Amino acid sequence: MQIITTHKGTDFDALASLVAGTILYPGAKPVLPGSVNPNLKSFISIHKDLFGFYSPKEIKLNEVGTLIVVDTNSWKRLDGMAPLQKKEKLKIINWDHHPQGDIEADEVYREEVGANITIMIREIERQRKLITPIQASLFLMGLYEDTGNMTFTSTTPSDARAAAYLLERRADLQILSTFLRHAYGKKQKEILFDMIQHAQRQEIGGYSISIARMDIDGHIQSLSVVLQMYREIVDVDAAFGIFRDTERDTCMVIGRSNIEQLNIGMIMRSMGGGGHPGAGSALLKSTNPDVIEEMIIEMVKGNQQSSVMLSDIMSYPVVTVFEDTTVEEVAMMLRETGCSGVPVVDNEDHVVGIISRRDFRKIRKTNQMQYPVKAFMSRDVITIEHNKSAIDAARLMIKHDIGRIPVIKNGRIIGIVTRSDAMLYFYDLLPD
């Protein structure tokens, strides 16, 4: 067994390196130490299913043949790995950007760059491995945190190149500002205190929300951080800030939500801005703050219906085949459409199976190409009801390791939701 682990008090660079390890060493189990930094906790709680971390207790150390250590090279910084120190015939691989410590590795990738993830990204790029926007976002968080947004003097050109690569891979800067703490200075503090003094809570559509209004002069950095802190202090499900710049006659609207049902990205998109379910913003010109406040309240009220519809993101009409369609016809159809699988339905659009390229491996003889697909299709199909959310769909995909789920309404298939549909929605990558 191969395992990958990193240091206790895990920060974003360590977490990013751990996930990068699973890309460079497919099949190796990522072991997350028991203690992680506070700002990492909320990120992990949202993305837990996605990365499949193990705790040190879940690993049978006597079965470990290879230990991959990332972002540290010191035994005492590892969690639950001490017995391995004396283990014979253990291969150790080390990726680190700290000076040599006491872990003697068989394979070492060490370089004194700003963030450890930089070294690993270079290898991922060299091997042309694919990374998702979520992974790219996490890697960029690690990179920014360990380099102080490229301001620490330990930052190297390699770090900046790695950042460029991650932005090309669609790292989401909104996600970064949600989880990383940015500069919080005197100005931000004054605004936060002022907001708290006038804080009001209201219950709308079953959610507790707070809308703060402030006049500001000129551009103020890190207002999103202020709003994040405000939401935590006022302790509401969602907080909104309307910051009016009287000189320029603009209103900056920022939202932060702590519950997935209340989709900030959707609310901000309706005002011409953008974001993802947890955070977003919009800039409105010549608009009365009263009107903006009403708009927010209306959107929160209507949110329950609008945000949960899978039908907004699913693909349709969906290509289906019948049970007696021949394997050959299906094979041709898949080649033409570039799909990896297609649902099999009866005369009334009830899903009775799914046939994918994977099922074709069961075919042994050429005359079987003329068989009906029902001979080879999988009959236990995971489906989802049309009124579930994109996040529900994403969870099902992760749980069952499938990339597409038929969407069902009144027992009939009305569309199909793919992994990329769910991710596009979640990470606000939908084209405008």
Binding site for Mn ion (CB under 5 A): 13, 71, 116, 146
How far apart CA 289 and CA 212 sit, in angstroms, is 10
Strands 321-322 and 341-345: parallel
Quick one: 117 or 351, whose CB is closer to Mn ion?
Answer: 117
∠ at Cα 264 (262, 270), nearest 5°? 115
CB of 174 to Mn ion, least distance (A): 24
Quick one: 71 or 359, whose CB is closer to Mn ion?
Answer: 71
**Residue 326, beta-bridge partner list:** 372
Strands 341-345 and 351-356: antiparallel
Q: What DSSP designation does 26 have?
A: T
Quick one: 9 or 185, whose CB is closer to Mn ion?
Answer: 9
Which residue has its beta carbon closest to Mn ion?
Answer: 13
Cβ proximity of 391 and 423 under 8 Å: no
CB of 73 to Mn ion, least distance (A): 11
DSSP 394-417: HHHHHHHT-SEEEEEETTEEEEEE
Quick one: 33 or 353, whose CB is closer to Mn ion?
Answer: 33
Quick one: 146 or 428, whose CB is closer to Mn ion?
Answer: 146
CB of 219 to Mn ion, least distance (A): 32
CB of 13 to Mn ion, least distance (A): 3
Distances (CA, A) of 375 to 362, 378, 379: 10, 9, 10
* Amino acid occupying residue 423: M
Quick one: 155 or 281, whose CB is closer to Mn ion?
Answer: 155
Quick one: 116 or 224, whose CB is closer to Mn ion?
Answer: 116
Cβ proximity of 75 and 92 under 8 Å: no
Tokens standing for 238?
Answer: 């969602």
Longest dimension (CA), the chain: 78
Query: Which residue's entry shows tokens 């240091």?
Result: 7
Quick one: 146 or 421, whose CB is closer to Mn ion?
Answer: 146
How far apart CA 59 and CA 61 sit, in angstroms, is 6
How far apart CA 84 and CA 87 sit, in angstroms, is 5
221: number of CA atoms within 13 Å, CB side? Answer: 6
Q: What DSSP designation does 249 have?
A: T
* Amino acid occupying residue 100: Q
Quick one: 8 or 409, whose CB is closer to Mn ion?
Answer: 8
How far apart CA 260 and CA 383 sit, in angstroms, is 22
CB of 47 to Mn ion, least distance (A): 19
∠ at Cα 363 (362, 364), nearest 5°? 110
CB of 40 to Mn ion, least distance (A): 13
Quick one: 73 or 287, whose CB is closer to Mn ion?
Answer: 73
3-state secondary structure of 292: helix
Strand ordering across the sheet containing 321-322: 321-322, 341-345, 351-356
Tokens standing for 367?
Answer: 């005359």
CB of 71 to Mn ion, least distance (A): 4
Quick one: 146 or 172, whose CB is closer to Mn ion?
Answer: 146
